[in-house]
Structure 1
């Protein structure tokens, strides 16, 4: 008689649902926005910390929303090649995941109230829009990710909104450098989504999920990935040439060695092996953000 499969510990199940490997994507924009604030001598610890926690909570909430709504819409099947989804695997019920998602978004909203007190009603409006978009990516009557709009909203909320919002709650305004800095961060985090959708392209096409990768096809999705990486490394050069930052901003290019393996992967791998590429792209977004921030920070110190 076969032995029953032992169910993982609840903590491990929830960690699978949260997907910690995606969290660097939430940290990068706050690192950049805060580093610019430090360089401009407008750093404020509590708003920066609150912005970081809100960003992490929004990422976690989005992960939980994707887990449960993809399952409810029948998009997660046994053919799935991405990381384990706890709802599809039967480790948590849809109600449990929905409850967890609700708790996470409530916590984000509570911290958002503090940031609203610091930065004004524009911060509240952006926070509500971010929560709605996180849910609407796979949920609701018009799921953004199912209609090829995922990349646009990821870029907006993980680029300009996250970086400039982090800077704004500390400085009370948005500098030109913050606007420019938000672009490469948004490009790289969008590239994470491109890898995700490229990996899932065959299954998404079969289930009618019309992501941008499905619409563009494999070649177009790979080209999108290359262009996002190229654009992210072009921005520091433009900032230097336009006098927005000194040549030290090119410290961001120190993350270039992490790019080549990703390009090789996207050219040669398909399906499950791209999970490592997904994690690598998330890691690149954080490493790039750290080097970019260091360049701007040391420019201001010298």
Structure 2
């Protein structure tokens, strides 16, 4: 073992985590795979879905711009990664992640300096800001600068600051707004002044899937969040109430193809997303372990992506 081996650290918590990783057959030190895990790749479909839906609506009104769509996608993805690292940092320094079940977090493990995690979050926020600024200059929609500032502030104060709204059960509200309405309608608004009903209902549908992903994650963490004093909506509703709420969020989006499918026949393909939603619902209600709920989270995340893409294509063509 080298002198930098964390199993020889003077920090008992760091030693314990390193030894546990060795027992699991994982390197005792943090690797690039841990940083990729910190980005929480399984949540990135939530950033792609609203942009895909918005791009489809923009194409429908003959205003589609590949450049502006890609910039909107860059903003959404960078913002999502930024908020994931921000959450890792904020929950870690608060001690919330000491109770959680699941993959080791960078900050809570003690194997990464919290300042490095914070710096990583800030880098991704900066990248989102740069992509957003370029989109604003090209589209000449200067008021989007304010939207960008609000989005970054919402990302930080989810678990950051003295009174994080994620700890008060308001996480789902902001996720619905920013990864549903703002991301979807914003993608359309970047490309045209014409905002149709399709843009708003797409934002609602995609936003509900984003809420469902967060709810699935928080249902898994109900016992540990209670110990940490984190009063998420799932904690407030209780396990049964939270599962009902989740179920509504993954079923209600299909009202969009049910109603607008009369005018856009290609929305019929959106119904195939139920192939992913159905097993997610079954596992949510019948699953017993934290691993089951992680699978629900993954299925729901990809359901949201498939829904957003199918919705976008259905409106575009």
Taking structure 1 as the reference length, the TM-score comes to 0.92
Return the alpha-carbon distance in structure 2 between the equivalents of residues 48 and 194 of structure 1. 28
Which residue of structure 2 lines up, in the alignment, with residue 296 of structure 1?
315
Alignment check: 8 A CA contact 2:85 2:120 kept: yes
Cα distance between partner residues in 1 of 2:205 and 2:219: 21
1:257 aligns with 2:278: no
Aligned to 2:296: 277
Partner-residue secondary structure (3-state), 1:172:
coil
For the 8 Å contact 2:100–2:225, the answer to whether it is kept is: no
| CA drift at 1:9 | 6.3
Residues 93, 107 of structure 2: 8 Å contact kept: no
Q: How many residues align?
A: 293
- Report the Cα distance in structure 1 between the residues aligned to 2:29 and 2:196, rounded to whole angstroms: 48
Does structure 1 residue 104 correspond to structure 2 residue 124?
yes
Q: Does 1:82 align with 2:82?
A: no
Q: Shift of the alpha carbon at 1:122?
A: 2.4
**Bigger shift: 166-175 or 136-145?**
166-175
2:178 pairs with one of 157, 179, 201: 157
Supply the distance in 2 between the matched residues of 1:8 and 1:15 (Cα, whole angstroms).
14
CA distance in 1: counterparts of 2:29 and 2:265, whole angstroms: 51
Listed as ranges, the gaps of 5+ residues in structure 1 are none
Structure-2-length-normalised TM-score: 0.88
Matched, 1:267 2:285: yes
Aligned alpha-carbon RMSD (Å): 1.8
Is the aligned partner of 1:92 residue 2:121? Answer: no
Query: 2:162, 2:48 → 1: CA distance?
Result: 30
Gaps (5+ residues) in structure 2? 8-21
1:170-209 aligned within 5 A: 170-209=191-230
Residues 183 and 235, structure 1, Cα contact 8 Å, conserved in 2: no
Aligned to 1:211: 232
